[in-house]
Structure 1
Amino acid sequence: MIAEAFDTLRLLIIAGGVWFIAGAVALGLVLALFLIALHAAARATWRALTARTRRPSWARTRSAARRYARRSPDYEEAA
């Protein structure tokens, strides 16, 4: 009878551990998705409020864009 009680206790501890781990994983996924959605909403709000023009990250100013732009290739040297 005591052996059956210990066997049941062991089974309950294992089942509780499985439920605890499953709950922790589910809570972690829910929190991760919530943070991703919150970040996306904040970023969209910021972009809507600032109303910047779309340009590449390296082209902060017009002069920088001109400096970083590629020159037309010179095929005379290759020939």
Structure 2
Amino acid sequence: MHWVNLAIAPGLEARLRSLTSARAVELLRRTAVDGDQLEHISARAGPDRLHVGLFFRTPSGNARDFCRRALATQPELAGWHVVD
């Protein structure tokens, strides 16, 4: 098992739309496919960002790629980006 923490943040336009931690988890989970080997997702709101925890079944899971795919494919996450 492999746990990864990262943050996602809204761009200027996305800040005008409200996004709860629970809704973010739901949207990220919709993105997951079997090949991601994703076991669990958590999110916690912070100032100007969401802190995301991803638990993969294997250490090969790429959290940044997974989040970028979610941000690119989920319309409610349009304008968000992975914080480096």
Please give the TM-score of this superposition, normalised by the length of structure 1.
0.19
Structure exhibiting the larger radius of gyration computed from Cα positions:
1
**Larger strand proportion of the pair:** 2
**Larger helix proportion of the pair:** 1
